[in-house]
Structure 1
Amino acid sequence: MHDSPEVRDVLILGSGCSGLTAAIYAARANLKPLVLEGHEPGGQLSITTLVENFPGWPEGVQGPELVDNMKKQAVRFGAELRMAHLTSVDLLRFPFEVQVGKDIIHTRSIIIASGASARWLGLPSEQALIGFGVSSCATCDGFFTAGKEIAVIGGGDSAMEEALFLTRFASKVTLINRSEAFRASRIMLERAIEHPQIHFLHNTVVEEVLGVEERDVRGLMLHNRKTGERSHLPVQFMFLGIGHEPNASMFKGQIDLDDDGYVKTEHNVFTTRQGVQLHGVYACGDVQDRRYRQAITAAGTGCMAALEVEKYLEELGK
């Protein structure tokens, strides 16, 4: 095992919108940040097609292009990006110790920007159409559903929120739940039931998303788990409302996580251990944001984390 002889000033875990924004700010402060790109380089933006709500792009921008521009900007100011998957992290010693494969990296500060991964059904046809009518973000892609019939998958509050939001655009929303009962809170379920544009399918699962060859959702093949009946639902978009999985399990026991595994933060970026602020470790973006999950909010917290790292390192005399 090879130990790095140097101690980094700042290590950024993740290369999505929050991590790259943190890298830009840290690099401009001459901190020479090292960014570990992780198992999903570029984060959620890398699987997004047209982004129309990021300021400064009046005609919209492709998600991968936006990520690539952020990378170029960070590198221009001196950030180093490394394609690497985190093996383990030790936040109980200082300098902090991070293992990547056979290498060990020591660092005075860490910015956790590892994001959250959307939960998918896992169908090959679904995966092929992500960004082409299959989405996990209603607020990102709802605008494109104007006047169209769409489906929302799920039975919890996330699915109800997505369905209700999408009624602003879509002509009809079919909410597909795999069981008879819903996990959603009573108030959210009642709002969805009372809405005239929302229709429900119980005990139903999606077997296939149609339109792979056309690169455009053309409908869903459904299976009723109770009756065994198979049917075709003619929709033009499918939204997943079954939640997100924060990429923070490796930090369990070292920093505070909430019941769903999101990093608990104070003032958006400060991490804690047993309720006490943990100096030198910060979190930003979707790994700590279960509420907004937008590119612009991720960028904002990435900026905040980098500014706090700069202050922290100044206090250390670095």
Structure 2
Amino acid sequence: MASKVTLVHRRDKLRAEAMLVDKLNQKIKDKKIEVIWNSTLQEVIGDEAKVTGAILKDVNSDKTQKIECSGVFIAIGHQPNTLLFKDFLQMDESGYIKIKTGSAGGATTTSIDGVFAAGDVSDSIYRQAITSAGSGCMSALDAEKFLDK
């Protein structure tokens, strides 16, 4: 998927499980991952077709820097980034988008016909990359089925 990964972290250290930090440190040592500490994402650069970069801001100095990248994946905390949809989609009290779920198909269907949700915006329990990838696949299949109607 990528030849290089840049992890942007808003603090000077990680608060994850030691085993996960050890795995990350090995990837850093192997030069597979670069970490930019004490920084936050300010802007994604690109057009409607693709991402070309990002503007990062150092939380200590307020200085900004531009990095080149072809994708941005945001994962911070346990608060889903769904505020944008609050007036349109049904959500639970924590801000997760409500989906149909179940085994009859259409499991990623939201309260609006033709709108599907997947990953951390609708999963308040597992919040793992692998489960998000799986629900993303389900959502794509649900969308395909919807479009074939």
TM-score where L is the length of structure 1: 0.28
Cα offset, 1:296, TM superposition: 5.3
The equivalent residue for 2:64 is 230
In 2, are the aligned partners of 1:210 and 1:218 still within 8 Å (CA)? yes
Number of residue equivalences: 104
- Tell me how far apart the structure 2 counterparts of residues 249 and 179 of structure 1 sit (CA, whole Å): 28
Aligned: 1:184 with 2:16: yes
1:45-71 deviation per Cα after TM superposition (whole angstroms, max 9, x unaligned)? xxxxxxxxxxxxxxxxxxxxxxxxxxx
Distance 1:188 1:218, change over 3 A: same
In 2, are the aligned partners of 1:248 and 1:287 still within 8 Å (CA)? no
Cα offset, 1:288, TM superposition: 6.2
Query: Rg: which structure is higher?
Result: 1
Q: Aligned match of 2:93 in 240, 245, 249?
A: 249
Q: Which residues of structure 1 form unaligned runs of 5+?
A: 1-168, 251-260, 270-283, 300-318
SS of the residue corresponding to residue 249 of structure 1 reads coil
Aligned: 1:200 with 2:44: no
- Tell me how far apart the structure 2 counterparts of residues 221 and 174 of structure 1 sit (CA, whole Å): 13
The equivalent residue for 2:7 is 175
Cα offset, 1:188, TM superposition: 0.9
- Tell me how far apart the structure 2 counterparts of residues 288 and 207 of structure 1 sit (CA, whole Å): 26
In 2, are the aligned partners of 1:218 and 1:236 still within 8 Å (CA)? yes
- Tell me how far apart the structure 2 counterparts of residues 230 and 295 of structure 1 sit (CA, whole Å): 32
1:83-108 deviation per Cα after TM superposition (whole angstroms, max 9, x unaligned)? xxxxxxxxxxxxxxxxxxxxxxxxxx
SS of the residue corresponding to residue 222 of structure 1 reads strand
Instruction: Give every structure 1 segment of 4 or more consecutive aligned residues whose post-TM-superposition deviation is greater than 6 Å.
Output: none
Please give the root-mean-square deviation of Cα atoms over the aligned residues, in Å: 3.6
1:211-237 deviation per Cα after TM superposition (whole angstroms, max 9, x unaligned)? 13x642111112112233321111111
Cα offset, 1:295, TM superposition: 4.5
Letter of the structure 1 residue corresponding to residue 52 of structure 2: R
TM-score where L is the length of structure 2: 0.54
Aligned: 1:220 with 2:50: no
Question: Which structure's relative contact order is higher, taking Cα pairs within 8 Å and 6+ residues apart?
Answer: 1
- Tell me how far apart the structure 1 counterparts of residues 123 and 33 of structure 2 sit (CA, whole Å): 31
Distance 1:219 1:191, change over 3 A: same
Cα offset, 1:187, TM superposition: 1.1
The equivalent residue for 1:145 is none
Cα offset, 1:287, TM superposition: 4.7
1:138-196 deviation per Cα after TM superposition (whole angstroms, max 9, x unaligned)? xxxxxxxxxxxxxxxxxxxxxxxxxxxxxxx2111010011112232111111111112
Structure number with higher strand proportion: 1
